[in-house]
Structure 1
Amino acid sequence: MIEDRPYTGLFVLDAGQGVAGPCCGMLLAATGAEVVKLEPPEGDWSRGLSVRKGPESVLHAAWNRGKQGLVLDLKDPAGRAAAQALAARADVLIESFRPGVAARLGLGPEDTGPDAICLSISGFGQTGPYAERPCTDAVAQAFGGLAALNQGADGIPHKTGPFVTDVMTGFAAFAAVQTALAARAQDRAAGRPPRRRVLDLSLLAGTAMLLASQIGEAALLGHSPGVPNVPAGCYQGSDGLWLMVTLVRDPDFVTLCRVLGLPPLAEDARFANFAARSTHAAELVPMVRDAFAGQPRDHWIAALQAARMMTTPVNSPVDWLADPHVVAVGAAPASVQGALGAVPFPAVPGQPQPRGAAPLLGEHTAEILSRLAPVPG
């Protein structure tokens, strides 16, 4: 893959915390931009979560690789002045404060250059009745319907383990910034006057994008749609190990029944198509579950793959890292991250890979501030 880094020479001030904003900043750093990670004296809250060694955490390292570290106390006038000076020089400003806070701290759009890209990431957006509400990935998953659609066998809605809303919003933010940078380049090429671009992204919108088809279906039906491809799902073999099997066309059900030794089910009118199988899922799924329980998982995977069915073991992250295909394609290159050592992080799809470690708290503060000092003369 050709690793183009088209944003070399671009200066990004990343005042985001957590995952979404830093994810966008990391992707800009990977594509060549100089990204300064601005943190308060206590640090980004992500530094205190997940597996840690010394002063570093895996969660922080995952989304802040390739950046420079700067600490400023924005409650102090000198800190605000330095932040404002950096914002004035930024091609892209990223912030994830509550609406209105960035402007009070000298990090609002009005503090940037005339054609800067100003990205705000918040829970519910910069306007509207919920704009001031605090929000995290878990709150966004619950509010947006993702948790309700992720109901477990216990009948309880669950958030997904990974921060899927945060990551989705971070990638969406990166795409939005790229669009704005392309539009700015067109303006400059055409000699048009500079225009500041303000981008308002929210976890609300990020979650909704994940559920585009489900939200559309619910609007038409007046209720949440059922599972679209019953009896797809996870099943346990006789050895206690789990596999996933999915169906995308009605003939797949006939094949599944044949592999499981249940051909009469394929001729049962109750299970004639996806809609009928969804209606009668409570009758069908236990029979499928019992059939899978009759043989070890790998027996079923081999039989289903031989029949060209889509199936896979249910892997843990450790299983995934050790899988021969993952290893062969280099899907998780190791990245040396200070005290954490060499950490395998998934390759960024279709983009250059981040270079360098995430910064220690305030690691480059003196160097960055020295650039703001007036040149003697």
Structure 2
Amino acid sequence: MSDATGTSLWWRTYGRNRRCITLDLHKEEGREVLRNLANKSDVLVENFRPGVMEKWGLGPKDLKPELIYTRISGYGQTGPKASLPGYASVCEAYGGIRHLNGYADRPPVRTNVSLGDTLTGLHAAFGAVMALLHRQRHNNTVPGQVVDAAISESVFNMLEGCVPEFAMHGYDRPPSGSTISGVVPSATLKTKDGRYVIIGGNGDSVYTRLMAAIGRPEMGSQNPLYCNNTERCKREDEIYEVIGKWVEERSLEQVLEVMAEARVPSGPILSTADIMKEEQYKARGMFHEAKPPSGDGPSLTLPAMLPVLSGTPGSTKWAGPELGEHTDQILRDELDLSDAEISRLRELNAI
């Protein structure tokens, strides 16, 4: 969706606090500007197909050796699939997460956000920071590194114990609907008023408090049949039937009240509309108000900068700018180009 100017609200969110320059990298003059900017920078991030930057003379070996060169692609910079285009939709499937999401008797489902892109951005940022820290710990006497972040591998990195489970036991974890394999009880349950609640009682002591709270203390962990997670997994259907029946006889508010009293982790499933009314989010400052750099138009509500840092918390100075809004400013401030030089680049359609 877009704002009144037609600019994507996604960009207004993720482009916040950035200055935006446009370059035509098909032209040598545009590539030269990028070289000069990169050679003044600590980190470069690119997401072209592997080999494209090298073709343009902008690969890691073409720029200063101390640069942290961060690369995002579908399948990584090497391997038989390296040259293939990769969108998050395809790479989430290739990385294994789509297989685990949904129900075994239905087509795999997708979370209604671009999870693969976001996970890859986080991996790329974390890798860049690690490479910077390594360089700084050596007093900037060592060269930079290439950070190779693949969408498929960033998703693959979320598979927890799936790889050793298969390698050791031949267990290929299937989709598990609203539960999670090997953990009982942890599920989504429907309340009397048609809402959904998550209850996680998988620790032994938590599980015992849960069963006591719903009036079934004899099913607590003191009973050998339910004494640990391994035994509870054998009786998964029985446990979920008992908990589910108790939940469906009560409203969401009643369920949450009882669970809170028993110190059992639980919570509602919230939509964005619900979240924006939640006092917890408001108290934590999870919504920022900002305008684009021009200051024109209405203020936008954006999610906060996370994580929260005690000494240097993130703030939103401005929402994502217009495409190329800072081109002239960057060329003047960072590269000391004159108005005449900038005009020439514009005449060449390099900017």
With normalisation by structure 1, the TM-score equals 0.77
Distance in 2 between residues matched to 1:89 and 1:154, nearest whole Å: 54
Deviation at 1:235, TM superposition (A): 0.9
Distance in 2 between residues matched to 1:344 and 1:128, nearest whole Å: 39
Distance in 1 between residues matched to 2:305 and 2:338, nearest whole Å: 41
> 1:213 is matched with which residue: 161, 175, 193?
161
- Which residue number in structure 2 is paired with residue 59 of structure 1? 10
Is 1:348 matched up with 2:348?
Answer: no
Q: CA RMSD in A?
A: 2.7
Seen in structure 2, the aligned counterparts of structure 1 residues 262 and 156 have a Cα distance that, compared at 3 Å, is: farther
Which is further off, 131-140 or 268-277? Answer: 268-277
- Paired residues of 2:206 and 2:263 also in contact (CA < 8 A): no
Distance in 1 between residues matched to 2:92 and 2:187, nearest whole Å: 21
Q: What code does the residue aligned with 1:321 have?
A: M
Deviation at 1:138, TM superposition (A): 2.4
Distance in 1 between residues matched to 2:55 and 2:331, nearest whole Å: 21
> 1:366 is matched with which residue: 328, 342, 349?
328
Alignment of 1:48-87 (within 5 A): 50-87=1-38
- Which residue number in structure 2 is paired with residue 118 of structure 1? 69
- Which residue number in structure 2 is paired with residue 320 of structure 1? 275
Distance in 2 between residues matched to 1:107 and 1:58, nearest whole Å: 31
Seen in structure 2, the aligned counterparts of structure 1 residues 339 and 99 have a Cα distance that, compared at 3 Å, is: farther
Deviation at 1:233, TM superposition (A): 1.1
Alignment of 1:239-254 (within 5 A): 239-254=193-208
Deviation at 1:139, TM superposition (A): 2.1
> 1:175 is matched with which residue: 101, 126, 132?
126
Seen in structure 2, the aligned counterparts of structure 1 residues 296 and 196 have a Cα distance that, compared at 3 Å, is: closer
| Deviations 1:261-288, CA, capped at 9 Å, x for gaps | 3445548876553223323334442343
| Deviations 1:153-206, CA, capped at 9 Å, x for gaps | 8643222233333223222222222222223334446xx4x6242221112231
Q: Unaligned stretches of 5+ in structure 1?
A: 1-49
Alignment of 1:107-256 (within 5 A): 107-152=58-103, 155-188=106-139, 192=141, 195-225=143-173, 227-256=181-210
> 1:286 is matched with which residue: 235, 241, 249?
241
Seen in structure 2, the aligned counterparts of structure 1 residues 332 and 210 have a Cα distance that, compared at 3 Å, is: farther
Aligned-partner SS, 1:212: coil
- Paired residues of 2:289 and 2:299 also in contact (CA < 8 A): no
- Paired residues of 2:209 and 2:263 also in contact (CA < 8 A): no
Distance in 1 between residues matched to 2:232 and 2:89, nearest whole Å: 32
Deviation at 1:59, TM superposition (A): 1.3
Q: What code does the residue aligned with 1:367 have?
A: Q
- How many residues align structurally? 324
Q: Unaligned stretches of 5+ in structure 2?
A: 174-179, 341-351
Distance in 2 between residues matched to 1:244 and 1:293, nearest whole Å: 13
- Paired residues of 2:131 and 2:144 also in contact (CA < 8 A): no
Seen in structure 2, the aligned counterparts of structure 1 residues 52 and 139 have a Cα distance that, compared at 3 Å, is: farther
> 1:273 is matched with which residue: 228, 234, 243?
228
- Paired residues of 1:91 and 1:117 also in contact (CA < 8 A): yes
**Runs of 4+ with >6 A deviation:** none
Is 1:257 matched up with 2:219?
Answer: no
| Deviations 1:216-256, CA, capped at 9 Å, x for gaps | 33333211356232231111111001111102312333332
- Which residue number in structure 2 is paired with residue 311 of structure 1? 266
Percent identical: 27
- Paired residues of 1:146 and 1:159 also in contact (CA < 8 A): no
Distance in 2 between residues matched to 1:251 and 1:196, nearest whole Å: 49
Deviation at 1:332, TM superposition (A): 2.7
**Relative to total residues, which structure has the larger strand share, 1 or 2?**
1
Distance in 2 between residues matched to 1:75 and 1:176, nearest whole Å: 28
Q: What code does the residue aligned with 1:325 have?
A: Q
Distance in 2 between residues matched to 1:76 and 1:149, nearest whole Å: 45
